[in-house]
Amino acid sequence: MQYALMIYSESSYLEGLPDDEREAAHADYRALAEDDRFVSAAQLEPAETATCVRLAGGRTLMTDGPFADTKEVLGGFCLIEAADLDEAAELAARIPAVRLGGTVEIRPLAQP
């Protein structure tokens, strides 16, 4: 099965770290990218760059900012291939954001 691992954290969590810890976090991300079960990943620009679009009275309406106004924002995501939820959760727990106070939401990709 394919799963999306969506990484929620405070946007500046990597910047606030001492150099060696930040380097360790980057190394963990690289190690994850080399795992056989890794499919792809993307890191997002900070939530201040976000724009929401919706339809209001027949016109598209753009607003500044992310959809939900919470401290933890979507900062990136991974796609992985795993046998089951336990395996996906083990990979998710290796994402550095988890040990640095963030949350990873695991969602199975809809089967075509």
Binding mask 1-40 for another protein (x = CB under 8 A): x-x-------------------------------------
What is the helix (H) or strand (E) element at residue 90, kind and residue range? helix 85-93
Report if residue 86 touches another protein, rule: CB under 8 A: yes
The tokens of 55 are what?
Answer: 């339809």
| Residue 83 within binding range of another protein, rule CB under 8 A | yes
β-strand partners of 6: 77, 105
- The residues that bridge with 3 in the sheet, in sequence order, are 80, 108
List residues binding another protein (CB under 8 A): 1, 3, 82-86, 88-89, 106, 108
